[in-house]
Structure 1
Amino acid sequence: MRALILAAGRGKRLAESHALPKCLLEFEGRSLLERHLLILTQLGVQDIAIAIGYQAEQVEQALDTVAFLPRPQTVYNADFNKGSVVSLWTLREQLRAGGEILLMDADVLYDYRLGQRLLQSPHSNCFLLDRHLDPGEEPVKLCLRDGVLVEFRKQLPPGLRYDIIGESVGFFRFSEKVAGRLAALCQDYMEQSHQEAPHEEAIRDLLLETPERFGIEDITGLPWIEIDFPEDIRQAENIILPQLEPLKSPPLL
């Protein structure tokens, strides 16, 4: 199992109040990135590649201090100000390298049990869904009809029929074959000059090609939050952190 983390973006909506890359924001003395790595280590995943871009040197320096797992590979996205599909495309070699893939957004504070649920799922191609969906256009929505995923997008098409809707956590598990297909779709976005697209659009294309290949794990009730706005930081500190299971400190290498 290989984990790919998207950590190249600038986080423009936080730029006025926080100059750090979002993945280096700290909660109780640990950055989001360190928390990712600790959780992945606890899950037995040590083959990790990270797409970096904005203030890449700071992220590299933070990784230099990690002493509990082999140093993750970093891949630099020079076009980090464009859409996140470019970051996913920079990881194309890792997507094509064989084996199952975990794909994760770096800007999420979450409980260990979300990662555990993803790894233990019987679905080799899996989305995490939270039925506690906040209203508005910001959440990336997952919709199912008769147990089959029919949509994955912030804005749903008019008239879409579904019987379950929830928010995507931004973590995915893909089989070797599907991961390779995702790399090809990202290549198509580059060749068609769609570099401004979010990476979720390529994943949506992947899903809608063969929806029967994909399943979900319903993680409703488990604590997590994506950090996009200053108020998300406050909510993370005051509401989410107290609910998280304590992280275990693994032995040093």
Structure 2
Amino acid sequence: MRALILAAGIGQRLADAANNLPKCLLEFAGKSLLLRHLEILRYYGIASITIVTGYEHEMLTKAIKASGISNHVQIVNNPEYHKGSHISLLNGLSHMATEGDFILMDADVLYDHRMIDRLLNTAYMNCFLLDKHFIPGEEPVKLCVADNRIVEFRKQVSPDLEYDLQGESVGFFRFTSETAKRLIKACNDYLDQGEQQTPYEECIRDLLLETPQEFGYEDVSDLGWVEIDFPEDITRAEQEILPKIEQIN
């Protein structure tokens, strides 16, 4: 099993709350999100890790080397980090080994480590993580399920869409090597069409809607997590999620 972590973004919506740090270098209880990722992946025996950097590439590289786990990490710099995240996904996939399943992860998430266990032990070839307990709005990337099959994966959901269950995507996925090849093609297709600002989720969505039978999800509504996008997310991470995680650990 391999892991691909997307850590190239600027995090403009955090403003001064992050002191201009890459979001994955934000610390909670004295430990950065990045270091938490690396330690959790090592705990689960995932020794091949690719991290896509961009904003403050040198700072992130220094932090990775200081982690003590850098011998397992391949760093891929995306100088076009100010564009769509599909470019980061493409860069990361293009530098990874081609064989074997992999876990794709957003870097700006504080989470219960058992989410990785769910992905490692899922019965689905390609797997999303779904949390039913989310605050509706424009920001969450939503997963919609009908008859136990995912029918939508997007922030904006058509009001005409019929579904039985809706949840928020955690931003962690498990995919096969064949799906990786399809994702590379999807990313390149957007670029060939002149699409420079596409979120990587759109590439995944295209594959999902094309072959929905090849995708499934694990319900992680019982596990704590938060994506750090806004200053209030930092507060929630410190006051709500971190205590739950530390209790588990």
Q: Tell whether 2:75 aligns with 1:50.
A: no
Q: Which runs of 5+ in 1 are unaligned?
A: 249-253
Change (3 A) 1:214 1:245: farther
Moved over 3 A (4+): 245-248
Per-residue CA distance 1:93-140 (angstroms, 9 max, x = gap): 245611111100000000111111111111120000000121111000
Q: How many residues matched?
A: 248
Normalised TM-score (structure 1): 0.95
Query: Cα offset for 1:150?
Result: 0.2
Q: 2:228 is matched with which residue?
A: 227
Q: 1:129 is matched with which residue?
A: 130
Identity %: 54
Normalised TM-score (structure 2): 0.96
Considering fraction of residues, name the structure with more helix: 2
Q: 2:10 is matched with which residue?
A: 10
Q: Which runs of 5+ in 2 are unaligned?
A: none
Per-residue CA distance 1:31-63 (angstroms, 9 max, x = gap): 000000011001110100011000011000001
Per-residue CA distance 1:189-248 (angstroms, 9 max, x = gap): 111111101111111011111000001000002000000000000100000000005687
Assess if the C-alpha contact under 8 Å between 1:102 and 1:173 holds in 2: yes
Aligned to 1:63, the other structure's residue is in SS state: helix
Task: Write the letter of the residue equivalent to 1:153.
Answer: R
Change (3 A) 1:193 1:246: farther
Aligned to 2:79, the other structure's residue is in SS state: coil
Q: 2:161 is matched with which residue?
A: 160
Q: Which moved more, 1:232-241 or 1:85-94?
A: 85-94
RMSD: 1.4
Distance 1:155 1:234 in 2: 26
Counterparts in 2 of 1:1-253, with a 5 A limit?
1-18=1-18, 19-68=20-69, 70-94=71-95, 97-245=98-246
Aligned to 2:173, the other structure's residue is in SS state: strand
Assess if the C-alpha contact under 8 Å between 2:124 and 2:217 holds in 1: yes
Distance 1:116 1:71 in 2: 20
Distance 1:179 1:68 in 2: 25
Query: Cα offset for 1:16?
Result: 2.8
Task: Write the letter of the residue equivalent to 2:45.
Answer: G
Q: Which moved more, 1:102-111 or 1:90-99?
A: 90-99
Task: Write the letter of the residue equivalent to 2:175.
Answer: F
Assess if the C-alpha contact under 8 Å between 1:182 and 1:206 holds in 2: yes
Aligned to 1:17, the other structure's residue is in SS state: helix
Distance 1:37 1:179 in 2: 22
Query: Cα offset for 1:3?
Result: 0.3
Task: Write the letter of the residue equivalent to 1:81.
Answer: H
Distance 2:120 2:85 in 1: 24
Query: Cα offset for 1:9?
Result: 0.1
Per-residue CA distance 1:63-84 (angstroms, 9 max, x = gap): 1112146241111111111111
Task: Write the letter of the residue equivalent to 1:9.
Answer: G
Query: Cα offset for 1:8?
Result: 0.1
Q: Which moved more, 1:209-218 or 1:181-190?
A: 181-190
